[in-house]
Structure 1
Amino acid sequence: MGRRFTQSATGAHVGAEPRGPIARDIHWAGETRSAIGVASLLYSALLAMDAGFGELDATRGALWTGLAALLFVILLPSRVSAGPGLLSARGLLVEHTVRTDSLVSVRWSDGVAQRMILRDTEGSQVEIDPTVLVRNPEMWRRLDTDTRTSLQRGTLLCGETALRRLAQRIDRETALTVFKVSGLQ
């Protein structure tokens, strides 16, 4: 990916990414299409309304274009992927990556939009929507395996409760899915 690898005094490759298959958010494309659809619908409605009232001009058209673009940026989900030892969240302009095998903390931010904030020993931080992990079992397995590594190494000082909450939520969702598929619900 164009990263340069340098060797530290200990012989470790700084900047090297672990090799192996990468798990990606399988619902990202659909959510992106939804964001485009909602922004387009708002844009079309605003233009149609202004045209119907006879008030559409270049200034108002530019205003509605900007408003629709802002809504798209707000609704666009981060593209989350997990590889061995890494979790990345790519937004519209930036990508944040955290080493999941050397996590220091995992915090849960409740509010209007729940967020899980992961921080590693290098100071990197990633903020993701926990439903991404709920909907992508392969990504959750990678994170779970790597957080266990962090616990064994003693680097994960804060966050066992947040991870336990997420694991319980995933177990609940999995059980509900199994019941639905088997017709027991």
Structure 2
Amino acid sequence: MPPRKGARGLADAAHDLRWAQDVRDSVRCAGSLLVLLLLLDWGTGRLSLRRGTLWVTLALVLFLVLCPARVRAGEDWLSVRRLLRERRVRTDLLVSVRCRDGVSQRLVLRDAFGCRVEIDPEVLVRNPPLWFRLEAGARKAAVGGTLLCGATALGRLSRRVDREAAHAVFEVSGLE
């Protein structure tokens, strides 16, 4: 299993650099909705304890929906922490990598121990150090023969990360 807190490898873990900003944005959005609803009710004279509680509950639900998962990766492991639970996979023992399309695209990783995580591929695109940790572990899994399916999804994601990194370099250098 991946290292636990305090174990070697956690100190040099890569993490989502925009996570704190995304949490602040979630709080701002939920807070703005709450203030708007309370002001609207107060302005119409319909504000009561019951309606105020309803608006606070609605804003809290919105925050819970918008609150991003905290993604971290170290040598041979990747973790996704939500509000109540943390899930980890061993990237060097990956069995499958699948890309689920839909309203929000998700990358589903499953390891040989049956552990499973879902992450937004955009997190990996925005944070190349996270991607490099995942890719290094997946390469070990492929060489070790445990990665049975997922080479196509990883290849697509690799090309996307490379394209975004090249685009950022061109932007910074003024060549675009």
Q: TM-score, normalised by structure 2?
A: 0.95
Are 2:24 and 1:23 aligned?
no
Length, aligned pairs only: 171
8, 24, 39: which is aligned to 1:33?
A: 24
Deviation track 1:82-109 (CA, whole Å, cap 9, x = no partner) reads: 0111100000101110110000000001
24, 35, 38: which is aligned to 1:44?
A: 35
- Which residue type is aligned with residue 19 of structure 1? R
What is the match of residue 70 of structure 1?
Answer: 61
What is the match of residue 90 of structure 2?
Answer: 99
Q: Whole-Å Cα distance in 1 between the matches of residues 173 and 103 of structure 2?
A: 33
CA 1:127–1:16: 2 relative to 1, 3 Å = closer
Flag structure 2 segments of 5+ consecutive residues without an equivalent.
Answer: none
Q: Whole-Å Cα distance in 1 between the matches of residues 14 and 72 of structure 2?
A: 6
Q: TM-score, normalised by structure 1?
A: 0.90
Residue 107 of structure 1 contacts residue 118 of structure 1 at CA under 8 Å; is this kept in 2? yes
Q: Whole-Å Cα distance in 2 between the matches of residues 40 and 73 of structure 1?
A: 12
- Which residue type is aligned with residue 147 of structure 1? A
What is the match of residue 157 of structure 2?
Answer: 166
Q: Secondary structure at the match of 2:52?
A: helix
What is the match of residue 9 of structure 1?
Answer: none
Q: Whole-Å Cα distance in 2 between the matches of residues 152 and 38 of structure 1?
A: 45
Query: Cα RMSD (Å) of the superposition?
Result: 1.0
CA 1:164–1:16: 2 relative to 1, 3 Å = closer
Q: Secondary structure at the match of 1:157?
A: coil
Give the fraction of aligned pairs with identical amino acids, expressed as a percent: 53
**Shift of residue 68, structure 1, vs aligned partner:** 0.1
Are 2:51 and 1:60 aligned?
yes
CA 1:16–1:101: 2 relative to 1, 3 Å = closer
Flag structure 1 segments of 5+ consecutive residues without an equivalent.
Answer: 1-14
